[in-house]
Chains A and B, each alone.
Chain A
């Protein structure tokens, strides 16, 4: 993208920013870094100054623009609802065009092109987690045709720490009698990392492939445990089948009585993943699932729902600036500690990883669980 295109797409939006600063205390990056360049207002000002020719793209700008988590909390706090996340991602497209971007993004782009996943493994290995789901017969997970496609996502497929999520989700659906299948090696990355990397034009191949697979399976709906896959499908792919996040499906299954829950005495708090809550509008279903577990007390974080604080794992920042990501995660841990809960539940493999990793590094004995894991435990 060049500046002329940027002006066309972003100028009216960025002109809505009145520099009031109400976004500052909602931006996790500003809170840990304290510099105007890490504040949404600062990023808006950069965009505007570049469009108006008062600033030129520079390595400092690259650093500022690539340290946004894309969490969208700024927009939630913004009076005119300036979509800073979109503006930042467009800036990234321009920066890529100028050759000013973190080189690690090239590797990811190459992995996606060559292997169709973010971890540069053989894509067939997407099925690795299935070994842990022994109770489900092989055939039941990999069908040619099914009502529902379970889109597992790269992180849950390849990162051992997150692999129990598809295991648990499959168990729940299998026990509830849902007619579903996974795509295995035919599932390609949804392309979400490319949007954050400023390389969204490269998504096309991935998207076409995935949409084609949906057609061939004849599915009526797709379920995602990954909020970012869900968000990408919902906002970019827009297929004419129903899209569910796992928490929505769990909620339905519980309401229909197809999943029955036993008592579990625990004080839990719920962390809203940015791409599920704020960016996709799914706030209540995961909470309803939690409240359906007898004995569970839900204590809310001070910042919840629209104003939930990102775990630090968003916007490719973990990859580009791990130190910054860790600082945000530490802040999240403090917020969780203030609730006095025994456990934090989320419904995103990335949140799970970021929070659990930080908790482990800081040697806090916080229990971090995905919603699916808690539901499976309550079913047994």
Chain B
């Protein structure tokens, strides 16, 4: 189908104003928050499931790629149209359709922003637990596609643990419901497979999520260390002592310094690492747990532990963590966030190696990450416009992922594979592992229109 004909057909489905095809728009829908770039043939902004279904039906008949997009905050190139096609921007499908308190479910359209939903629920004493760092801008459709994580996932699990079902448009435009309010659906866990499949198996047009009561009590602590090893060991020790905090976050010296310079959170400039430890749940017993944590920190030579005594103090402790990313981002024009995950006992070892990688490639690397579940986010700083530096960045990132894979970890904890990490898939998967994924992809997408070129490496790339 000629492009002009495609655009005319799309306009017939969606109306003139919801089909974008100018040079400018094609440039603007060619990127996401990663370093990848592409170019679609058209961009559409559907307002209903029926429109999405018709778009997909057209794409199936004409074998045109379809790429779903929420806020485009993806860090691995998942929303970049690398083989052209139709970008489906879901910003108009942004209604919360139902809050069912007796059944503890909420049903949303994919364009609803994560934090908007969370704020809405909080007013009713309820919460949707996964809290990706981008929750203020990320959409629930994007969270579904990427199986997003966040600090609180240590205790509450990631997005997939909170998705009960979805209305999904499948390869030929047919609309089906998978999962739902009724638990333990007979048959395969199709919902579980679709969550985190990065739009390569289908497109969710309604999502049903689990909501839980907001915790009764919260306790937040900041622990300051003179050595990064001690901080890392504290992380495993806390868990090994039988305490699973709601969050366990860590920052290294480069980050601490940057934070102090911009946010003034009151961290000592010479500290090697800080941990933010938060407990939540029933109030009873929390005091004793906090004391236990305090003891563990002391055993690991902590310099100081600060306990938030009020909501204001709690916000203050978090201000440093929340502003960390930004503070570091200010040091150089560009950054790349790596997303390796390792068994948490390996943290001290891996952090040491990451520092070595930074030295080897002469790149500043900051560490601010979800230590509790071993999810590292080394932040490599550079200037994207400097080609030579950019190539060093890619090498360093690959090396960091290799380090994670070699200690029994994985190459992506919460940002996805997209296009960025296709070549590293072989670090953790054999050809037959990947072949199985290819079979799955083929079963759900016989003509290869769903976000092609993502997640599953093409045959030759995998063996390279």
Contact = CB atoms under 8 A, between A and B. Distances in A.
A and B touch in the complex (CB under 8 A): yes
A42 B28 contact: yes
B160 to A, nearest CB: 23
Interface string B314-357: 00000000000111011001110000000000000000000000
A18 B334 contact: yes
B447 to A, nearest CB: 28
B32 interface: yes
A167 to B, nearest CB: 41
A24 B94 CA distance: 14
A239 interface: no
Interface stretch (B17-25, B240-248, B425-433, B438-446): B17-25
Contacts of A37: 20, 24-25, 28
A219 to B, nearest CB: 37
> Number of contact residues on B: which range applies?
35 or more
A25 B113 contact: yes
Given A60-B25, A81-B330, A20 B73 contact: yes
A19 B384 contact: no
Nearest to B28: A36
Contacts of A25: 71, 113, 115-116, 136-137
Contacts of B115: 25
B24 A55 contact: yes
B334 A15 contact: yes
B92 interface: yes
B144 interface: no
Contacts of B33: 18-21
A36 B28 CA distance: 6
Going nearest first, the 6 A-B pairs with the smallest beta carbon separation are: A79-B326, A34-B91, A36-B28, A79-B329, A60-B22, A21-B73
19 contacts: A15-B383, A20-B33, A21-B72, A21-B73, A22-B73, A22-B134, A25-B136, A34-B91, A35-B45, A36-B25, A36-B28, A37-B24, A37-B25, A37-B28, A46-B24, A55-B23, A56-B23, A61-B24, A80-B329
A55 B20 CA distance: 16
Nearest to B326: A79
B387 interface: no
B409 to A, nearest CB: 25
A15 B385 contact: yes
B95 to A, nearest CB: 13
A16 B31 contact: no
Interface in A29-55: 34-37, 41-42, 45-46, 49, 54-55
B29 interface: yes
B27 A54 contact: yes
| Residue from B33, B111, B113 having most chain A Cβ neighbours under 10 A | B33
Given A35-B20, A79-B325, A55 B27 contact: yes
A102 to B, nearest CB: 17
B162 interface: no
Given A21-B72, A35-B45, A79-B325, A16 B333 contact: yes
A45 B28 contact: yes
Nearest to B17: A35
A182 interface: no
Contact of B31 (A19, A61, A80): A19
Given A34-B91, A36-B89, A80-B330, A21 B23 contact: no
A18 B329 contact: yes
Contacts of A138: none
Given A12-B333, A16-B333, A35-B20, A22 B25 contact: no
A64 interface: yes
A18 B73 contact: no
Nearest to B69: A36
Contacts of B327: 79
Contacts of A56: 23
A45 B31 CA distance: 9
Nearest to A16: B333
Contact of A45 (B27, B43, B45, B325): B27
Given A15-B385, A18-B329, A21-B32, 16 more contacts: A12-B333, A15-B384, A20-B73, A21-B72, A25-B116, A34-B45, A34-B89, A34-B94, A34-B111, A36-B72, A45-B27, A46-B27, A49-B27, A60-B25, A79-B327, A80-B326
A20 B134 contact: yes
A80 B384 CA distance: 15
A318 B403 CA distance: 55
B400 to A, nearest CB: 19
Interface in B140-167: none
Interface in A116-169: none
A58 interface: yes
A64 B45 CA distance: 17
Contacts of A49: 27
Interface in B31-53: 31-33, 43, 45
Contact of B24 (A12, A34, A60, A79): A60
Nearest to A77: B136
A182 to B, nearest CB: 42
B89 to A, nearest CB: 7
B291 to A, nearest CB: 36
A58 B325 CA distance: 35
Nearest to A46: B24
Contacts of B23: 55-56, 58, 60
Contacts of A19: 31-33, 72
| Residue from B28, B29, B327, B385 having most chain A Cβ neighbours under 10 A | B28
A369 B188 CA distance: 60
| Residue from B24, B71, B89, B325 having most chain A Cβ neighbours under 10 A | B24
Nearest to B138: A21
A201 B246 CA distance: 56
Nearest to A63: B24
Interface string B54-93: 0000000000000000011100000000000000010110
Given A18-B33, A46-B24, A60-B24, A24 B71 contact: yes
A84 to B, nearest CB: 14
B419 to A, nearest CB: 15
A189 to B, nearest CB: 33
A18 B31 CA distance: 11
Contacts of B329: 18, 79-80
Interface in A67-95: 77-81
A50 B40 CA distance: 19
Contacts of A54: 27
A81 B89 CA distance: 26
A43 to B, nearest CB: 9
A241 B57 CA distance: 68
Contacts of B116: 25
Contacts of B20: 35, 37
Interface string B89-109: 101101000000000000000
Contacts of B43: 36
A79 B33 CA distance: 13
Contacts of A77: 136
A34 B92 contact: yes
Nearest to A17: B333
A78 B116 CA distance: 19
A22 B136 contact: yes
B182 to A, nearest CB: 34
Interface in B239-289: none
